[in-house]
Structure 1
Amino acid sequence: MKLFKRALVLLLIIIGVLVYLNYTKLNIISGYAAKNMASSVFVAQRSAESITQYDNNVPLIKLAETEVDNKTKSASSSVYGFMERQSVYREGLGAVLINDDYDSSEFTLKPNRNRLSDTIPYPYGQLNPKDTIFPEIDMVQLNKAVTTAFSNADVQKTRTLLVLYKGHLVTEKYIDGFTKDTPILGWSMAKSVLATCYGVLEHQGKLGMDWPAPIAEWKEDERRNITLNHLLRMQSGLEWEEDYTKISDVTKMLFLDSDMTKAQKKKKAIAKPTEIWNYSSGTSNLLSGILRQQFRSHQEYLDFPYSAFIDKIGMYSMTLEADIAGNYIGSAYAWANTRDWARFGQLYLDKGLWNGEQLFNTAWVDYITEPTPHSDGTYGAHFWLNVNGRYPDAPKDLFSCNGHEGQYVFVIPSKDLVIVRTGLAQDPLFDVNTFLSEVVKSVQ
């Protein structure tokens, strides 16, 4: 009996130590589960059962038990009853993790949307795509590429796939539970959407990429030399830890902060601008805050991305989610269906020209695809590049929006291709190089 009691005490001590060491992680675990559930149910209109079975069924996150309240449009999660977190849906602004700073009465604004009727086929309009046959497209080869992307489903976990060629839909495929109308979370593809806001403002003559970042706190120290260009290229020299496996700068920002634009702003400089390249979601959210400063009112800020290009190119399924302070979370939370993500890629393939209107300078594409020093040719300005042959069997002029778990919008100018792939697994589980090479081979 004494031995049993000693073993029980030892077990309780071990459990206590484990809880103590991981207690702060529970905040992140339950926060992720609640946020992902609320957004997926109320933005993407998917079932809670599907989110639990697939999206939240990953290490650590699957420890959380999540409940959805359709009446209040919210989701609550906890880990064995510890650290309960709640995420609430707000019309037009998506879901947000709430804390003591949250006051529902403050969320009276939402972005104004402008849905235009047209008689133009997809992707430039809302009518059904034309059934177009291109003799230079080997459909047998293209279908092989699609089949490969959806093969070994338990590993590759592809959900949706679409290919545009010369502004025409040539193929698309969706797994059960997903359609052309299902919004997909782009994760870090949101960074490229945010960057486009800067491209539009530059085209309108309202700012320049060489402008100093308008941060009052930086004016009295070495950070005063940081420009918008440095921020867009992730070469500001500011301290930042982008590690999703632990309590880090990025996880604290996404799951604890009320105002996500402040996290990077507070960081010290560890190098001079351009001396290092350091991928930072905090930088993207800082840029979202700087974007807000360009407008006289919160409403104008909320409206801008939609009026500037999102609604103009017909991305009516897109939702940009905001934090408690009402800032767009430009690092991670943009939703759109697969066809609309492809419209975004087509806008860049067409160098900003959409149905006769130039939305950003043609030179903007040259700017965002210019390799950033110290990124080994993999990064431009909030877009990823293939200059160094990251995907050795794909054209070097490929550039892309990349997101967590394998969300991709690939633009290949030399082949007139836009390729969208979404899923729950990324490289190397989803073999991006093989997939791209198979698609490119189909264009004779």
Structure 2
Amino acid sequence: MKRFKKILGYGFIVIIGLLVVAIFWNYPKLTILSGYSAKNMASSVFIGNRSVEFTDINDNNFAPVNLADDQVNMTKKSAVASVFGLNERKAIYREGLGSVVIDDDFDENASYLIPNRSKIKTNLPFPYGDLSQKDTVFSAVDYQKIANMVSSVFDKEGESIQKTRAVLVIHKDQIIAEKYADGLDENSVLLGWSMTKSILATNYGILQKQGKIDINDKAPIKEWEDDERKEITISNLLQMNCGLEWDEDYGSISDATTMLYLDKDMTKPQIYKEAIHKPNEYWYYSSGVSNLLSGVLREHFDSYQEYLDFPYREFIDKIGMHSMLIETDMAGNYVGSSYAWATVRDWAKFGLLYLHKGNWNGEQIFNPEWVDYVTTPTATSEGDYGGHFWLNAGGFYPDAPKDMYSANGFQGQRVFIIPSKDLVIVRFGLVGDAGVDFNRFIKEITEAVK
């Protein structure tokens, strides 16, 4: 019996030892998990106006993020998360700037600037105004086929596979299909994740039209002036073929996760990476590049207020995307890689702006040539990527039109733009290609439009 107890004692010590080792090796990961959970919770509650319970059941309900426990302070507009009581992280919400996960040095009581917004209502029907759209029926559209396809990508009662939250289909500026999951509707504000990259890039198209920037110029990064990186152009950054080292892995402690959940200034990490390829020789997707571009954009203006105002003044509010909010990091930079929120209908307006080659109800927001630029395949991307937009030129979706291009985001957020069919299709969800057959989805809808 004593020997048995002794063996049990050794076993207990071994288990404790293994737990200590496991915690030691995973401690940094827990910090990132806590940061993700707190940030997502704060944004869902204070931007999306959803409950803590709804966010726990939906947005934060996937492994390993669901290991985190969140506490929300409605009065102070903050969220605190920890994993097994360890690595507590805090995110705060600031009106006009969204939510940000903060560190111990951040001064929550400091004053801050916010973007100036112009939300003028117009007496025009959707999409150009706030009135209901005109009652139009297209004889060349098979509405039932589209409705069936849209319904098929939503989970049936008791299922949790496709996790589609919303679908909107627009043809010739008219909504021809629209559906939402329970708890959401046309007023729900949803996170676009990396669709924000396409929002960011649009600022460069506008500056190009205004003659205030040339994307073929060398990137104005002082840290690159004395080495081979000085040859990198703004276009190389937009096309993500700058050749810089970067690790875009969301399942580990990587450049991307460290940037989003630990770094104070998200415009800096990509700057300090080495060149491992020459520009235009190697395509690699990098959220670091997008945030670097946000920093380049900020440096273009004489004041921080001008930087904050520019995207809203020059196109977001101008085309009536009044629900959109782009969140900032601790240093006040727009997180151009990941954090834009808007209703599905407002995301659709963004797609329509590109479908109409930058023309919004008679006003040219950016030149038509900008669309040609963002839809030209980046060298070595196999026809899959352009200027901060995803392409189907290489046939990634073999049964979808080759002229289709899209803003894509984590968990299957999509704004598909299909010029040959005069279509914009928006899909939001909590699972991407693993849950939804986008090839069939696009094929069925486009075939229903003759």
Q: Give me the TM-score of the superposition, normalised by structure 1.
A: 0.99
Q: Which amino acid aligns with 1:80?
A: F
Q: Pairwise CA RMSD of aligned residues?
A: 0.8
How far has the Cα of 1:151 moved from its partner?
4.1
2:69 aligns with: 65
Alignment counterpart, residue 7 of structure 1, candidates 3, 7, 11 = 11
Q: Which amino acid aligns with 1:21?
A: W
Deviations 1:385-410 (A, max 9, x none): 00011111110000000000000000
Of 99-108 and 163-172, more deviation after overlay is shown by: 99-108
Are 2:266 and 1:260 aligned? yes
CA distance in 2, matches of 1:101, 1:423: 35
CA distance in 1, matches of 2:64, 2:242: 33
Q: Which amino acid aligns with 2:274?
A: K
* Structure 1 contact 64–79 (Cα < 8 Å) conserved: yes
Q: Which amino acid aligns with 2:124?
A: I
2:421 aligns with: 415
How far has the Cα of 1:207 moved from its partner?
0.3
Are 2:144 and 1:140 aligned? yes
Alignment counterpart, residue 21 of structure 2, candidates 9, 17, 41 = 17
How far has the Cα of 1:101 moved from its partner?
3.2
1:104 aligns with: 108
Q: Which amino acid aligns with 1:148?
A: S
Alignment counterpart, residue 358 of structure 1, candidates 356, 359, 364 = 364
Equivalent residue runs for 1:235-384 within 5 Å: 235-384=241-390
Are 2:91 and 1:87 aligned? yes
Are 2:56 and 1:37 aligned? no
Are 2:131 and 1:127 aligned? yes
CA distance in 1, matches of 2:395, 2:277: 28
Q: Secondary structure at the match of 1:38?
A: helix
Alignment counterpart, residue 28 of structure 1, candidates 6, 28, 32 = 32
* Structure 1 contact 132–170 (Cα < 8 Å) conserved: no
Deviations 1:31-69 (A, max 9, x none): 000000000000000011011111111111111000100
Are 2:398 and 1:402 aligned? no
Alignment counterpart, residue 223 of structure 1, candidates 229, 243, 262 = 229
CA distance in 2, matches of 1:147, 1:40: 25
* Structure 1 contact 101–258 (Cα < 8 Å) conserved: no
CA distance in 2, matches of 1:336, 1:125: 16
Q: Secondary structure at the match of 1:160?
A: strand
Q: Which amino acid aligns with 1:296?
A: D
TM superposition outliers: structure 1 runs of 4+ over 3 Å: none
2:160 aligns with: 154
How far has the Cα of 1:169 moved from its partner?
1.1
How far has the Cα of 1:184 moved from its partner?
0.6
Deviations 1:124-182 (A, max 9, x none): 11111222100010111111111212145511110101011011111111111101011
* Structure 1 contact 395–412 (Cα < 8 Å) conserved: yes
CA distance in 1, matches of 2:251, 2:305: 36
Q: Which amino acid aligns with 2:140?
A: E
2:55 aligns with: 51
Q: Percent identity?
A: 54
Are 2:378 and 1:390 aligned? no
Q: Secondary structure at the match of 1:420?
A: strand
* Structure 1 contact 90–107 (Cα < 8 Å) conserved: no
Could you say if the C-alpha distance between residues 304 and 236 of structure 1 is closer, same or farther in structure 2, counting changes exceeding 3 Å?
A: same
CA distance in 2, matches of 1:117, 1:329: 28
How far has the Cα of 1:30 moved from its partner?
0.5
CA distance in 1, matches of 2:185, 2:133: 15
1:203 aligns with: 209
CA distance in 2, matches of 1:266, 1:306: 30
Q: Aligned residues, how many?
A: 444
Alignment counterpart, residue 171 of structure 2, candidates 139, 151, 165 = 165
Q: Which amino acid aligns with 2:224?
A: W
Gaps of 5+ in 1: none
Deviations 1:80-106 (A, max 9, x none): 110000000000000000003312244
CA distance in 1, matches of 2:174, 2:110: 44
